[in-house]
Amino acid sequence: MSNALWGGRFESGPDAAMQKFSTSLPYDSRLWRYDIKGSIAHVQMLARVKVLSDEDAQQIVAGLDQIASEIESGALNFEGAPDEDIHSFVERNLATRIGSVAGKLHTARSRNDQIALDVRLFLKEALSAVHDAVLEVQKVIITRADEHFDAILPGYTHLQRAQPVLLAHHLMAYFQMFERDRERLQEAYRRADVLPLGAAALAGTTFPIDRHFVAEQLGFARVSENSMDTVADRDHMLESTFALSLIGLHLSRLAEEWVLWSAPEWGFITLDDRFSTGSSIMPQKKNPDSMELIRGKSARVLGDLNTLLVLVKALPLTYNRDLQEDKEPLFDAFDTVLGCLEIARGVLETTKFHTQTMRASAGGGFSTATDVADYLVRLGVPFREAHEIVGRVVKYCEENNKELEDLALFEWQSQDERIDESVLETVGVDSSVAARQSYGGTAPDRVREQINRAKLLMREA
């Protein structure tokens, strides 16, 4: 950092180690578009309120546009730049192009509200990108649910076979998770959509600035209300990273199931070769590395959130240099989640479902036992008594190496004489699934309703 740029208070420049230690340019350089965009809106506002002349403002804007073009083309890059951060990089390069008038750009603002602006502009774009990526995953889920609407597989609790469900119902459970994720992203966007510029260092400015004009120019819905809170606030970053963490968590749960389902012990799915890898030593292996990496990378996003929480938790008002460390975990969380969503979409699009294997497993493990208990209740048997009766039937099956569907009527009646021949239909997986008619249940009619509502949400998104 050049002390000539930031004032005459110092007799010498920073120690070389201090300069290297304190620079943030290697990672906040990715904010250059937002920094220049915000600077242009700021200088146009200064001309509007007569703090700058139109001539000076035009010269500054032209210089900023030139810098943007040069960065975009690669003629100007950040490698080896001596600057502490993106703000000083832009201002130094502006001065080399238009001279001393460049120093007027920083009138009525501070790096404190400037970086707050850059991050909020970044967040708005990044949140929108993640939102759209989640939307694409949801669309794929709906498509696959439609393709295999009649497929039945076991639903699990405690990772033990519990009750048969439609594969479409299982897939739509993830749709609902991602729908809540989209809602959180929208809420995070709303709180990021607040203009911080004009708070200056912490107390506002003595110049007659027009913050609402700047907000309009930059597309912000609101203007921040308290200058101290404005430069200290990182809630929008924390909330956004929390939303990303939940997306990562949901992707990790999906990944875990795909890893299990692709194992021969399950055999429910086969991953496409494009999303699998082999072994360096075992030629027969086809590993679900795509989903394992998603499962692993979700830990990074959770770590990014934790970093931000710990970073902010004990900071007094207002700005503290600690906050320089907020951007690396923020950027990493967005980059990681976007990458995971892209891979998850590809895996979901290309996975082959082995529906016959799923169906064969759905009837095992006494998965329709609850249906038999419900059947007895409808005969007038209290549920707790029905529960005990069916428990005895299951024990009988285990002792005789049978499934519920294997039992003859006399075997049922040997456990309770009130049972009649209709029990034979009750224990079938199709009957079990079809009977779950409660709103949100796995019956085909209810699942079709879920999918139709989901399609409507996608059209409205």
Q: How far is residue 252's CA from residue 292's CA, in Å, rounded to a whole number?
A: 8
**Catalytic (active site) residue 158:** yes
Distances (CA, A) of 22 to 25, 81, 85: 9, 14, 9
Q: Which of 279, 354, 367, 432 is catalytic?
A: 279
Gap between the Cα atoms of 387 and 382, Å rounded: 9
What is the C-alpha to C-alpha distance for residues 434 and 449, in angstroms, rounded to an integer?
A: 14
The closest of 184, 187, 168, 193 to 134, measured between CA atoms, is: 184
Question: Within 10 Å of residue 282's Cβ, how many Cβ atoms?
Answer: 8
E strand or H helix that includes residue 301: helix 289-312
Among residues 12, 100, 158, 438, the one annotated as catalytic is 158
Q: Please give the Cα distance from 298 to 295 (Å, whole number).
A: 6
> Is 69 noted as a catalytic residue in this protein?
no
* Residue 233 region by backbone torsions, left for phi larger than 0, else alpha for psi between -120 and 50, else beta: beta
Token representation of residue 190:
């709303």
User: Hey, how many other C-beta atoms are within 10 angstroms of the C-beta on 245?
Assistant: 20
For the purposes of burial, counting CB atoms within 10 Å of the CB of 141, is it exposed (0-12), middle (13-18) or buried (19 or more)? Answer: buried
Any alpha helices (H) in 161-279, and if so which ranges?
A: 167-192, 211-218, 227-232, 235-262
Burial class of residue 123 in the structure, from the number of CB atoms within 10 Å of its CB (0-12 exposed, 13-18 middle, 19+ buried):
buried
Taking the C-alpha atoms of residue 283 and residue 286, their distance in angstroms, rounded to an integer, is 9
292 CB-near residues (< 8 Å, 6+ apart) = 255, 259
Q: Which helix (H) or strand (E) holds 143?
A: helix 111-147
User: How far, CA to CA in Å, does 38 sit from each of 99, 121, 137, 189, 217?
Assistant: 20, 9, 33, 18, 9
Q: How many angstroms separate the CA atoms of 444 and 15, rounded? A: 71
Closest residue by Cα to residue 98 from 63, 55, 65: 63
Catalytic residue IDs: 158, 279
